[in-house]
Protein backbone atom coordinates (compact mmCIF):
# COMPACT_ATOMS: atom_id res chain seq x y z
CA UNK A 1 0.00 0.00 0.00
CA UNK A 2 1.34 3.42 -0.92
CA UNK A 3 1.95 6.05 1.78
CA UNK A 4 -0.77 8.27 0.26
CA UNK A 5 -3.34 5.46 0.43
CA UNK A 6 -2.31 4.69 4.00
CA UNK A 7 -2.78 8.33 5.01
CA UNK A 8 -6.25 8.37 3.49
CA UNK A 9 -7.24 5.20 5.33
CA UNK A 10 -5.84 6.56 8.59
CA UNK A 11 -7.90 9.73 8.13
CA UNK A 12 -11.04 7.70 7.37
CA UNK A 13 -10.49 5.43 10.39
CA UNK A 14 -9.75 8.34 12.69
CA UNK A 15 -12.74 10.49 11.84
CA UNK A 16 -15.14 7.55 11.74
CA UNK A 17 -14.01 6.61 15.24
CA UNK A 18 -14.33 10.17 16.53
CA UNK A 19 -17.79 10.64 15.03
CA UNK A 20 -19.05 7.28 16.31
CA UNK A 21 -17.40 7.26 19.73
CA UNK A 22 -20.41 8.32 21.82
CA UNK A 23 -23.07 6.16 20.09
CA UNK A 24 -20.66 3.20 19.90
CA UNK A 25 -19.96 3.39 23.62
CA UNK A 26 -23.72 3.40 24.32
CA UNK A 27 -24.44 0.53 21.93
CA UNK A 28 -21.48 -1.61 23.05
CA UNK A 29 -22.06 -1.07 26.77
CA UNK A 30 -25.81 -1.73 26.61
CA UNK A 31 -25.39 -4.74 24.33
CA UNK A 32 -22.78 -6.29 26.62
CA UNK A 33 -25.00 -5.82 29.68
CA UNK A 34 -28.02 -7.26 27.85
CA UNK A 35 -26.17 -10.48 27.03
CA UNK A 36 -26.96 -11.69 30.55
CA UNK A 37 -30.41 -10.13 30.75
CA UNK A 38 -32.16 -12.99 32.54
CA UNK A 39 -29.55 -13.41 35.27
CA UNK A 40 -28.76 -9.72 35.75
CA UNK A 41 -32.03 -7.89 35.28
CA UNK A 42 -34.84 -10.28 36.24
CA UNK A 43 -35.54 -10.18 40.01
CA UNK A 44 -35.23 -13.67 41.57
CA UNK A 45 -38.89 -13.73 42.58
CA UNK A 46 -39.87 -13.27 38.90
CA UNK A 47 -37.90 -16.27 37.63
CA UNK A 48 -40.24 -19.17 38.47
CA UNK A 49 -39.48 -22.15 36.22
CA UNK A 50 -42.96 -23.70 36.08
CA UNK A 51 -46.54 -22.44 36.04
CA UNK A 52 -49.93 -23.38 34.64
CA UNK A 53 -50.08 -22.05 31.03
CA UNK A 54 -53.90 -22.02 31.09
CA UNK A 55 -53.94 -19.76 34.14
CA UNK A 56 -51.23 -17.51 32.67
CA UNK A 57 -53.11 -17.27 29.35
CA UNK A 58 -56.36 -16.40 31.05
CA UNK A 59 -54.79 -13.68 33.19
CA UNK A 60 -52.97 -12.22 30.16
CA UNK A 61 -56.14 -12.18 28.03
CA UNK A 62 -58.13 -10.53 30.81
CA UNK A 63 -55.45 -7.91 31.40
CA UNK A 64 -55.10 -7.07 27.71
CA UNK A 65 -58.87 -6.82 27.24
CA UNK A 66 -59.06 -4.34 30.10
CA UNK A 67 -55.90 -2.42 29.19
CA UNK A 68 -57.15 -0.55 26.14
CA UNK A 69 -55.10 -0.24 22.93
CA UNK A 70 -52.00 -2.44 23.24
CA UNK A 71 -49.39 -3.17 20.58
CA UNK A 72 -47.67 -6.34 21.72
CA UNK A 73 -47.38 -8.75 24.63
CA UNK A 74 -44.22 -10.83 25.11
CA UNK A 75 -45.42 -14.07 26.70
CA UNK A 76 -43.73 -15.49 29.81
CA UNK A 77 -41.07 -18.14 29.30
CA UNK A 78 -38.76 -20.16 31.56
CA UNK A 79 -36.65 -17.79 33.59
CA UNK A 80 -39.07 -14.89 32.98
CA UNK A 81 -42.31 -15.65 34.79
CA UNK A 82 -44.13 -12.56 33.60
CA UNK A 83 -45.67 -11.06 30.48
CA UNK A 84 -44.42 -7.74 29.07
CA UNK A 85 -46.99 -5.50 27.39
CA UNK A 86 -46.19 -2.57 25.11
CA UNK A 87 -48.49 0.32 24.24
CA UNK A 88 -48.60 3.26 21.84
CA UNK A 89 -47.30 6.36 23.59
CA UNK A 90 -47.33 4.76 27.04
CA UNK A 91 -44.66 3.02 29.14
CA UNK A 92 -44.27 -0.74 29.05
CA UNK A 93 -46.05 -2.68 31.80
CA UNK A 94 -45.66 -6.22 33.12
CA UNK A 95 -47.95 -8.92 34.44
CA UNK A 96 -46.84 -11.85 36.66
CA UNK A 97 -48.01 -15.28 35.52
CA UNK A 98 -49.86 -15.58 38.81
CA UNK A 99 -52.28 -12.92 37.61
CA UNK A 100 -53.32 -9.53 38.90
CA UNK A 101 -53.36 -6.14 37.20
CA UNK A 102 -50.75 -4.79 34.83
CA UNK A 103 -48.06 -2.86 36.70
CA UNK A 104 -44.89 -0.87 36.08
CA UNK A 105 -41.80 -3.10 35.84
CA UNK A 106 -39.66 -3.51 38.96
CA UNK A 107 -36.49 -1.44 39.07
CA UNK A 108 -34.17 -4.12 37.66
CA UNK A 109 -36.49 -4.84 34.74
CA UNK A 110 -36.84 -1.13 34.13
CA UNK A 111 -33.06 -0.99 33.76
CA UNK A 112 -33.22 -3.79 31.17
CA UNK A 113 -35.85 -1.90 29.18
CA UNK A 114 -33.75 1.26 29.38
CA UNK A 115 -30.69 -0.63 28.14
CA UNK A 116 -32.67 -2.13 25.26
CA UNK A 117 -33.88 1.33 24.23
CA UNK A 118 -30.30 2.63 24.41
CA UNK A 119 -29.04 -0.29 22.32
CA UNK A 120 -31.65 -0.04 19.59
CA UNK A 121 -32.60 3.65 19.56
CA UNK A 122 -29.97 5.52 21.60
CA UNK A 123 -32.83 6.78 23.83
CA UNK A 124 -33.86 9.07 20.95
CA UNK A 125 -36.96 7.32 19.60
CA UNK A 126 -37.23 6.82 15.85
CA UNK A 127 -34.43 9.30 15.03
CA UNK A 128 -32.21 7.17 17.25
CA UNK A 129 -33.20 4.03 15.36
CA UNK A 130 -32.20 5.76 12.13
CA UNK A 131 -28.90 6.78 13.71
CA UNK A 132 -28.18 3.15 14.69
CA UNK A 133 -28.75 2.15 11.06
CA UNK A 134 -25.97 4.56 10.10
CA UNK A 135 -23.63 3.71 12.98
CA UNK A 136 -23.60 -0.02 12.18
CA UNK A 137 -22.25 0.06 8.61
CA UNK A 138 -19.79 2.88 9.38
CA UNK A 139 -18.48 1.02 12.44
CA UNK A 140 -18.04 -2.18 10.39
CA UNK A 141 -16.17 -0.23 7.69
CA UNK A 142 -13.97 1.40 10.33
CA UNK A 143 -13.06 -2.00 11.82
CA UNK A 144 -12.15 -3.34 8.37
CA UNK A 145 -10.01 -0.26 7.68
CA UNK A 146 -8.33 -0.66 11.07
CA UNK A 147 -7.55 -4.30 10.22
CA UNK A 148 -6.06 -3.26 6.87
CA UNK A 149 -3.91 -0.65 8.62
CA UNK A 150 -2.79 -3.09 11.32
CA UNK A 151 -1.96 -6.01 9.04
CA UNK A 152 1.39 -4.68 7.75
CA UNK A 153 2.42 -4.12 11.40
CA UNK A 154 1.30 -7.53 12.64
CA UNK A 155 4.87 -8.64 13.44
CA UNK A 156 5.14 -5.75 15.88
CA UNK A 157 2.13 -6.91 17.95
CA UNK A 158 3.02 -7.82 21.50
CA UNK A 159 0.89 -9.45 24.14
CA UNK A 160 2.30 -7.03 26.73
CA UNK A 161 0.53 -4.16 24.94
CA UNK A 162 -2.82 -5.58 26.02
CA UNK A 163 -2.19 -4.56 29.62
CA UNK A 164 -0.12 -1.46 28.97
CA UNK A 165 -0.92 1.48 31.22
CA UNK A 166 -2.15 4.13 28.76
CA UNK A 167 -0.38 7.11 30.31
CA UNK A 168 0.99 8.50 27.06
CA UNK A 169 -0.25 8.80 23.49
CA UNK A 170 2.15 6.11 22.14
CA UNK A 171 0.97 3.74 24.88
CA UNK A 172 -2.67 4.48 24.01
CA UNK A 173 -2.02 3.77 20.35
CA UNK A 174 -0.24 0.49 21.15
CA UNK A 175 -3.12 -0.56 23.40
CA UNK A 176 -5.60 0.41 20.68
CA UNK A 177 -3.74 -1.65 18.07
CA UNK A 178 -3.19 -4.62 20.36
CA UNK A 179 -6.81 -4.86 21.49
CA UNK A 180 -8.09 -4.33 17.97
CA UNK A 181 -5.94 -7.21 16.73
CA UNK A 182 -6.98 -9.40 19.67
CA UNK A 183 -10.75 -9.02 19.25
CA UNK A 184 -11.18 -8.29 15.55
CA UNK A 185 -12.25 -11.87 14.79
CA UNK A 186 -15.10 -11.41 17.28
CA UNK A 187 -15.88 -7.81 16.36
CA UNK A 188 -16.40 -8.41 12.66
CA UNK A 189 -19.31 -10.90 12.98
CA UNK A 190 -20.69 -9.10 16.05
CA UNK A 191 -20.88 -5.69 14.38
CA UNK A 192 -21.97 -7.16 11.04
CA UNK A 193 -24.87 -9.06 12.64
CA UNK A 194 -25.88 -5.91 14.54
CA UNK A 195 -25.81 -3.94 11.29
CA UNK A 196 -27.99 -6.54 9.60
CA UNK A 197 -30.38 -6.46 12.57
CA UNK A 198 -30.69 -2.68 12.32
CA UNK A 199 -31.58 -2.99 8.62
CA UNK A 200 -33.58 -6.20 8.98
CA UNK A 201 -36.98 -4.82 7.87
CA UNK A 202 -35.48 -3.64 4.58
CA UNK A 203 -33.49 -6.85 4.09
CA UNK A 204 -36.57 -8.97 4.74
CA UNK A 205 -38.47 -6.93 2.16
CA UNK A 206 -35.70 -7.56 -0.39
CA UNK A 207 -35.75 -11.29 0.35
CA UNK A 208 -39.54 -11.60 0.33
CA UNK A 209 -39.76 -12.47 -3.41
CA UNK A 210 -37.72 -15.60 -2.61
CA UNK A 211 -40.42 -16.88 -0.25
CA UNK A 212 -42.44 -19.87 -1.44
CA UNK A 213 -46.13 -19.23 -2.18
CA UNK A 214 -48.33 -19.06 0.88
CA UNK A 215 -50.09 -22.34 1.53
CA UNK A 216 -53.89 -22.27 1.94
CA UNK A 217 -55.32 -22.71 5.39
CA UNK A 218 -55.92 -26.36 6.26
CA UNK A 219 -59.63 -27.15 6.17
CA UNK A 220 -59.90 -27.86 9.90
CA UNK A 221 -58.19 -24.53 10.71
CA UNK A 222 -60.33 -22.52 8.28
CA UNK A 223 -63.43 -24.04 9.87
CA UNK A 224 -62.56 -22.75 13.37
CA UNK A 225 -65.04 -20.16 14.65
CA UNK A 226 -64.46 -18.34 17.91
CA UNK A 227 -66.60 -16.00 19.94
CA UNK A 228 -65.91 -12.53 18.48
CA UNK A 229 -63.73 -10.43 20.74
CA UNK A 230 -62.70 -13.37 22.93
CA UNK A 231 -58.92 -13.11 23.15
CA UNK A 232 -58.62 -16.01 25.59
CA UNK A 233 -60.41 -18.27 23.11
CA UNK A 234 -58.09 -17.10 20.34
CA UNK A 235 -55.04 -18.01 22.43
CA UNK A 236 -56.50 -21.42 23.29
CA UNK A 237 -57.34 -22.12 19.64
CA UNK A 238 -53.83 -21.17 18.50
CA UNK A 239 -52.26 -23.44 21.13
CA UNK A 240 -54.51 -26.29 19.97
CA UNK A 241 -53.35 -25.81 16.36
CA UNK A 242 -49.66 -25.97 17.36
CA UNK A 243 -49.58 -27.86 20.66
CA UNK A 244 -45.90 -28.67 20.21
CA UNK A 245 -44.94 -25.01 19.84
CA UNK A 246 -44.21 -22.33 22.44
CA UNK A 247 -46.30 -19.18 22.29
CA UNK A 248 -43.90 -16.23 22.50
CA UNK A 249 -45.78 -13.06 21.55
CA UNK A 250 -49.14 -11.48 20.74
CA UNK A 251 -49.19 -8.40 18.53
CA UNK A 252 -51.63 -6.27 16.62
CA UNK A 253 -51.23 -3.29 14.29
CA UNK A 254 -52.52 0.09 15.51
CA UNK A 255 -54.61 0.48 12.34
CA UNK A 256 -56.29 -2.91 12.69
CA UNK A 257 -56.81 -3.76 16.35
CA UNK A 258 -59.25 -6.57 15.46
CA UNK A 259 -56.37 -8.53 13.91
CA UNK A 260 -54.17 -10.34 16.42
CA UNK A 261 -51.01 -12.23 15.43
CA UNK A 262 -49.87 -15.01 17.77
CA UNK A 263 -46.20 -15.84 17.32
CA UNK A 264 -44.86 -19.33 18.07
CA UNK A 265 -41.50 -21.03 18.21
CA UNK A 266 -42.02 -24.44 16.67
CA UNK A 267 -39.68 -27.44 17.00
CA UNK A 268 -36.75 -26.94 14.64
CA UNK A 269 -36.80 -23.13 14.71
CA UNK A 270 -33.58 -21.55 15.96
CA UNK A 271 -34.93 -18.04 16.41
CA UNK A 272 -35.39 -17.61 20.20
CA UNK A 273 -38.85 -16.09 19.72
CA UNK A 274 -39.86 -18.13 16.70
CA UNK A 275 -41.25 -16.70 13.48
CA UNK A 276 -44.31 -18.90 12.97
CA UNK A 277 -47.60 -17.02 13.30
CA UNK A 278 -51.32 -17.59 13.51
CA UNK A 279 -53.48 -14.57 12.72
CA UNK A 280 -56.95 -14.29 14.24
CA UNK A 281 -59.67 -11.84 13.27
CA UNK A 282 -61.28 -11.06 16.62
CA UNK A 283 -64.13 -9.22 14.93
CA UNK A 284 -65.36 -12.33 13.11
CA UNK A 285 -63.75 -15.02 15.28
CA UNK A 286 -62.06 -16.63 12.24
CA UNK A 287 -58.48 -17.78 11.74
CA UNK A 288 -57.22 -15.32 9.13
CA UNK A 289 -53.79 -16.77 8.41
CA UNK A 290 -51.20 -19.37 9.34
CA UNK A 291 -47.47 -19.21 8.58
CA UNK A 292 -45.06 -21.99 9.47
CA UNK A 293 -41.61 -20.35 9.38
CA UNK A 294 -39.96 -23.74 8.87
CA UNK A 295 -41.46 -23.75 5.37
CA UNK A 296 -40.58 -20.12 4.59
CA UNK A 297 -37.59 -20.78 2.33
CA UNK A 298 -34.48 -18.58 2.20
CA UNK A 299 -35.98 -15.47 3.90
CA UNK A 300 -37.18 -17.49 6.87
CA UNK A 301 -33.88 -19.37 7.16
CA UNK A 302 -31.98 -16.06 7.21
CA UNK A 303 -34.30 -14.59 9.81
CA UNK A 304 -34.20 -17.77 11.85
CA UNK A 305 -30.45 -17.53 12.49
CA UNK A 306 -29.65 -13.80 12.50
CA UNK A 307 -31.35 -12.69 15.72
CA UNK A 308 -30.23 -15.67 17.77
CA UNK A 309 -26.69 -15.25 16.49
CA UNK A 310 -26.58 -11.55 17.38
CA UNK A 311 -27.92 -11.98 20.91
CA UNK A 312 -25.60 -14.96 21.54
CA UNK A 313 -28.43 -17.47 21.89
CA UNK A 314 -27.01 -20.16 19.61
CA UNK A 315 -23.74 -21.13 21.26
CA UNK A 316 -24.49 -21.12 24.97
CA UNK A 317 -22.13 -19.48 27.46
CA UNK A 318 -19.16 -19.67 25.08
CA UNK A 319 -21.06 -17.57 22.57
CA UNK A 320 -22.24 -15.12 25.23
CA UNK A 321 -18.81 -14.63 26.78
CA UNK A 322 -17.20 -14.24 23.34
CA UNK A 323 -19.65 -11.46 22.58
CA UNK A 324 -18.95 -9.93 26.01
CA UNK A 325 -15.24 -9.83 25.17
CA UNK A 326 -16.08 -8.29 21.81
CA UNK A 327 -18.33 -5.67 23.36
CA UNK A 328 -15.69 -4.78 25.96
CA UNK A 329 -13.09 -4.61 23.20
CA UNK A 330 -15.27 -2.26 21.17
CA UNK A 331 -15.64 0.00 24.20
CA UNK A 332 -11.90 0.02 24.78
CA UNK A 333 -11.14 0.69 21.11
CA UNK A 334 -13.51 3.64 20.99
CA UNK A 335 -12.15 5.20 24.18
CA UNK A 336 -8.43 4.62 23.50
CA UNK A 337 -8.74 5.79 19.90
CA UNK A 338 -10.41 9.06 20.85
CA UNK A 339 -8.03 9.65 23.78
CA UNK A 340 -5.03 9.09 21.51
CA UNK A 341 -6.45 11.60 19.06
CA UNK A 342 -7.15 14.07 21.87
CA UNK A 343 -3.52 13.86 23.04
CA UNK A 344 -2.11 14.47 19.56
CA UNK A 345 0.55 17.17 19.16
CA UNK A 346 -0.94 20.57 18.42
CA UNK A 347 0.44 23.11 16.06
CA UNK A 348 1.32 26.56 17.31
CA UNK A 349 -1.77 28.57 18.19
CA UNK A 350 -3.56 25.48 19.52
CA UNK A 351 -4.68 24.24 16.11
CA UNK A 352 -4.19 20.58 15.21
What single-letter DSSP state applies at residue 128? H
Q: Do the beta carbons of residue 121 and residue 132 sit within 8 Å?
A: yes
Return the domain boundaries, the chain. Answer: 3-38+121-206+315-350, 44-105, 213-295
Tens digit of each residue's pLDDT, the chain (352 residues): 788 888 899 999 999 999 999 999 999 999 999 999 988 999 998 998 789 989 999 999 999 999 888 999 999 999 999 999 999 888 999 999 988 899 999 999 999 999 999 999 999 999 999 999 999 999 999 999 998 888 766 555 566 666 666 668 888 888 888 888 888 999 999 999 999 999 999 999 999 999 999 889 999 999 999 999 999 999 999 999 999 999 999 998 766 668 899 999 999 999 999 999 999 999 999 999 999 999 999 999 998 999 999 999 988 889 999 999 999 989 989 988 998 888 888 655 444 4
Sign (positive/negative) of CA torsion 49, 52, 53, 59?
negative
Give the helix, strand, coil percentages of the chain, each rounded to 5: 60, 15, 25
Query: Which residues make Cβ contacts (< 8 Å) with residue 170, sequence separation at least 6?
Result: none
Give the integer Cα–Cα distance in Å for 326 and 22: 17
Which pTM does this prediction carry?
0.87
Q: Please work out, in degrees rounded to the nearest 5, the angle formed at the alpha carbon of residue 201 by the alpha carbons of 81 and 68.
A: 45
Q: Which residues of 117-131 are buried (b: 16+ CB within 10 A; e: fewer)?
A: bbbbbbeeeeebeeb
Q: Are 18 and 338 in contact (CB under 8 A)?
A: yes
* Residue 69: per-residue pLDDT: 87
What one-character-per-residue DSSP string does 152-214 give?
Answer: GGGGG--GGGGG----SHHHHHHHHHHHHHHHHHHHHHHHHHHHHHHTHHHHHHHHGGGSPPP
Amino acid sequence: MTPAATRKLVTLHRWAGIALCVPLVGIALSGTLLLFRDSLWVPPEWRAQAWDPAVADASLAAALTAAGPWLYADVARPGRAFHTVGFEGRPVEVLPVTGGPLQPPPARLAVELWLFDLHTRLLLGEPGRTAVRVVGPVAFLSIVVGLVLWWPRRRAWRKADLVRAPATRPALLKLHLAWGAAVVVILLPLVLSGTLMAHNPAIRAWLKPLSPPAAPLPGEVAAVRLTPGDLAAAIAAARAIWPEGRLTQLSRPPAGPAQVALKFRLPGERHPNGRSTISVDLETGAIAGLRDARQGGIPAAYDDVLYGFHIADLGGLVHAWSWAVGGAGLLLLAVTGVLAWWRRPRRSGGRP
